[in-house]
Chain A
Amino acid sequence: MSAHSEALREAERLMTVCNSCRYCEGLCAVFPAMEMRRAFSAGDLNYLANLCHSCGACYYDCQFSPPHEFDVNVPRTLAIVRNDSYADYAWPRALSGTFKRNGLAVSLIAVLSVVAFLFAFMALSDPSVMFARQVGEGAFYRIMPHDAMVALFGGVFLYSCLALFMGLRAFWRDMAAGPPPAFDLASLWQAMKDAGRLRYLDGGGVGCMNADERPRDTRRLYHHMTFYGFGLCFAATSVATLYAYLLGRAAPYPWWDLPVVLGTLGGIGLLIGPAGLLLAKSKRDPVLMDGTRTGMDAAFLAMLFFTALTGLALLVLRATPAMGTLLAVHLGFVFGFFLTMPYGKFVHGLYRYAALVRYAMERRAEEAAAEAAAAGGAAKAAA
Chain B
Amino acid sequence: MDSAHDVLVIGGGNAALCAAISARRAGASVKVLEAAPRFYRGGNTRHTRNMRCAHDTATDTLTGPYTEDEFWDDLKRVTQGHTDEELARFMIAKSKDMLPWISAQGVRFQPSLGGTLSLGRTNSFFLGGGRAMLNALYQTAEGLGVEVEYDAEVVALEIEDGMFLSATVKRQSGLETVRAGALVAAAGGFEANIAWLKEYWGPPAENFLIRGTPYNRGTMLRMLLDKGVQEIGDPTQCHAVAIDARAPKFDGGIITRLDCVVFGIVVNRDAERFYDEGEDFWPKRYAIWGRLVAHQPDQIAYIVFDAKSLTSFMPSLYPPISASTLEELAGKLELDRAKFCATVAGFNAAIVPGGSFDHTVLDDCRTQGLTPPKTHWARPVDTPPFYAYPVRPGITFTYLGVRVNQEARMIMTDGRPAANMFAAGEIMAGNVLGRGYAAGIGMTIGSVFGKTAGEGASRRARN
Contact = CB atoms under 8 A, between A and B. Distances in A.
Interface of A: 16-17, 19-27, 32, 35, 38, 57-58, 60-64, 67-70, 203-206, 213-214
B259 to A, nearest CB: 11
B253 interface: yes
B110 A20 contact: no
Contacts of A21: 129, 253-255
B317 A16 contact: yes
B39 A68 contact: yes
B125 interface: yes
Interface stretch (B9-17, B308-316, B401-409): B308-316
Given A20-B315, A64-B255, A35 B248 contact: no
B139 to A, nearest CB: 6
Interface in B128-167: 128-132, 135-136, 139
A221 B253 CA distance: 36
B39 A67 contact: yes
Contacts of B49: 23
A57 B128 contact: yes
Given A38-B311, A204-B108, A26 B254 contact: no
A17 B128 CA distance: 15
Most central of A24, A25, A58, A63 by chain B CB within 10 Å: A63
B254 A25 contact: no
Contacts of B39: 67-68
Given A17-B255, A60-B132, A68-B39, 19 more contacts: A19-B315, A20-B315, A21-B129, A22-B114, A23-B130, A24-B129, A25-B113, A26-B113, A57-B132, A58-B128, A61-B129, A61-B131, A61-B135, A62-B129, A62-B131, A63-B46, A63-B130, A64-B253, A203-B128
Interface in B93-143: 108, 110-111, 113-115, 125-132, 135-136, 139
A20 B315 CA distance: 5
Most A CB atoms within 10 A — which of B115, B125, B254, B315? B315
A27 B131 contact: no
B52 interface: no
Contacts of B139: 213-214
Contacts of B128: 23-24, 26-27, 57-58, 61, 203-204, 206
Pick the most buried of A20, A23, A38, A60: most chain B CB atoms within 10 A of its CB.
A23
Nearest to B106: A206
B135 A213 contact: yes
Interface string B37-59: 00100000011010000000000
Given A26-B110, A26-B125, A204-B110, A68 B251 contact: yes
A206 B115 contact: no
B316 A20 contact: yes
26 contacts: A16-B317, A17-B317, A21-B254, A21-B255, A22-B113, A22-B114, A22-B115, A23-B254, A25-B114, A26-B110, A26-B113, A27-B127, A60-B132, A61-B129, A62-B129, A62-B131, A63-B130, A64-B253, A67-B39, A70-B255, A70-B317, A205-B108, A205-B127, A206-B108, A206-B128, A206-B136
A206 B315 contact: no
Nearest to B139: A214
A54 to B, nearest CB: 16
Interface size class of chain B, counting residues whose CB lies under 8 Å from the partner chain: 20 to 34
B317 A20 contact: yes
Nearest to B46: A63
Contacts of B46: 63
A11 to B, nearest CB: 15
Contacts of B126: 23
Nearest to A57: B128
Q: Which are the 7 A-B pairs with shortest beta-carbon distances? A: A23-B129, A61-B128, A26-B110, A61-B132, A20-B255, A20-B316, A63-B46
B264 to A, nearest CB: 18
Nearest to A69: B248
With most chain B CB atoms within 10 A of its CB, the pick from A60, A61, A62, A203 is A61
Contacts of A27: 127-128
Given A63-B253, A214-B139, A204 B127 contact: yes
Interface of B: 39, 46-47, 49, 108, 110-111, 113-115, 125-132, 135-136, 139, 248, 251, 253-255, 311, 314-317
A22 to B, nearest CB: 6
A362 B128 CA distance: 23
A367 to B, nearest CB: 13
B315 A16 contact: yes
A160 to B, nearest CB: 39
A6 B271 CA distance: 39
A60 B317 CA distance: 20
Contacts of A67: 39
B114 A35 contact: yes
A10 to B, nearest CB: 15
A360 to B, nearest CB: 17
Contacts of A17: 255, 317
A206 B131 contact: no
Nearest to B136: A206
Contacts of A213: 135, 139
Contacts of B129: 21, 23-24, 61-63
A19 B139 CA distance: 28
Contacts of A19: 315
Nearest to A60: B135
A32 B49 CA distance: 17
A340 B254 CA distance: 46
A206 B110 CA distance: 11
A355 to B, nearest CB: 20
Contacts of A35: 114
Nearest to A66: B39
B281 to A, nearest CB: 19
Contacts of A25: 113-114
Contacts of A58: 128
Contacts of A16: 315, 317
Nearest to B257: A20
Contacts of B113: 22, 25-26, 32
A265 B248 CA distance: 57
Nearest to B39: A67
Nearest to A35: B114
A53 B262 CA distance: 39
B347 to A, nearest CB: 27
B32 to A, nearest CB: 17
Contacts of A20: 254-255, 314-317
Q: Which of A24, A60, A64, A204 has the most CB of B within 10 A?
A: A64
Contacts of B110: 26, 204
The winner among A19, A25, A62, A203 for most chain B CB atoms within 10 A is A25
Contacts of B314: 20
A62 B255 CA distance: 12
Contacts of A68: 39, 251
Contacts of A206: 108, 127-128, 132, 136
A171 B115 CA distance: 30
Contacts of B311: 38
Nearest to A36: B114
A287 B135 CA distance: 18
B170 to A, nearest CB: 21
Nearest to B61: A26
A36 to B, nearest CB: 10
Nearest to A204: B127
